[in-house]
Amino acid sequence: MSTPNYKMKKKLVYHIWCPTSELTDEQRFIFNLHFQLLKYYSNIFDDVQINVACDDLEFPLINKIRHKILDIFNRADQNVYIKTVQNTQLCEGKTCYEEVFAPGSEYDGIVFFGHTKGLTNVLNINIFDSIKYWVCALYWFSLNFMDECEHYMNNTEAFYGSLLNKYEDRTLWMYSGSFYWTNIHNVKYRLSYTSSNTIKSLSALSRSYAELIPSILFPEFTTACSKCHNTVYSLVTTDYNPYANSLINIKNACYLHNDDYKNFIKFADAMYDYVNTNKDDVNLF
């Protein structure tokens, strides 16, 4: 499987949780699924910043992760940076702040943020089938329509994503799962007058920083989202629970035509089968 290259300069900022305890089979599968999805979409990115967070910075699995990353992002013209960081309760929120929005982290292009989503939720084996579709959706809906992404990012949009949802308290919006593109040049003016104390305190207190920062900068529900109510790839609902039944929610809550829905299911099932049947290629453990 391969993906085309695109015109705009693009950077991936990605947070990986490196476990130090024994994982369940379901967690191992989701971990490997993330790596296969990264491999599938690897050609999109010119620059790659991976933060590997671990409780023990000498843990052997860190080196395996590093080798896997270098194997995935192996194009000669790609710049790959891997940073090992101490795991904290802030998790991916700290990586998002430091590598995407903090002063000095500006990028001459657009940045896609993602992380190893679903590893804790999959401990509930009853929702495993839902999570495997949910994880695939985080990549597919955000990375499969790059022409449209470039169109919006070249103009005034600050963010581009899908799986659009209201936050738990219903006063803020978010991209469910915290996978989205941002154009820092288009965000910069908001960063300049939004209270730096608000941003810093949020990043210091909450792992939800990655989810909340878009709507704190752009409180209006539709201001910063190119995938809103009238486009076919949005996932917009105030009661979206991805772990309840991902397939039903994706089909009913998205404005998806049947062919689009079928294409997504084919993609997710192909990824699932590949990870299951090519363990030597994708297995990190």
Distance CA 120, CA 222 (A): 30
C-alpha dihedral, 75 to 107 to 94 to 32, nearest 10°: -20
For residue 193, the model assigns a pLDDT of 59
The first and second tokens of residue 84, run together, are 């090992």
pTM: 0.85
For residue 257, the model assigns a pLDDT of 54
DSSP 254-275: B---HHHHHHHHHHHHHHHHHH
Q: How many Cα atoms are found within 13 Å in the side-chain-facing hemisphere of 207?
A: 11
Judge whether residue 110 has pLDDT over 60: yes
Per-residue exposure over 166-179, b if at least 16 CB sit within 10 Å of its own CB, e if not: beeeeebbbbbbbb
Residues 245-253 have a mean pLDDT of 51
Question: Sorting pLDDT into bands at 50, 70 and 90, what band is 239?
Answer: very low
Kindly list the distances between the CA atom of residue 1 and the CA atoms of 43, 267, 274, in Å, as whole numbers in the listed order: 11, 10, 10
More confident residue, 216 or 45: 45
On whether the CB atoms of residues 110 and 7 are closer than 8 A, the answer is no
